[in-house]
Amino acid sequence: MKKLVQTITNTNLEGKLIHVALLIFRIALSLELIIAHGLKKLGVGVAEAEQVPNPLNLPEEFNSLFADAANLVFPASVIFGLFTRIAVLQLVRKFQ
């Protein structure tokens, strides 16, 4: 039993398999965000583009630009591994 618990809780992050699994997870999650939220904001696949709420009363162009970036540009940069920590910070702030 003790060996089973040690095997399950082993957090060895070495090896190729963990890196491939994290890559697949990163790509799948980013694509889901782009498809589920980003394309709706552009009006792709729906009859009318989704309206972005503006609770801070920012200029409409800036609000729309930031929403499009958070749903299209930042997930794409996560897929390619460019500025990943900065991009994920913006994505996490979006869902709070």
pLDDT (tens digit per residue) in 49-91: 778 888 888 898 898 888 888 888 889 988 888 888 887 777 6
d(CA 31, CA 64): 20
d(CA 73, CA 87): 9
Q: What is the DSSP letter of 51?
A: P
- With 70 as the cut, is the pLDDT of residue 95 above it? no
**What is this structure's pTM?**
0.67
Q: Are 39 and 67 in contact (CB under 8 A)?
A: no
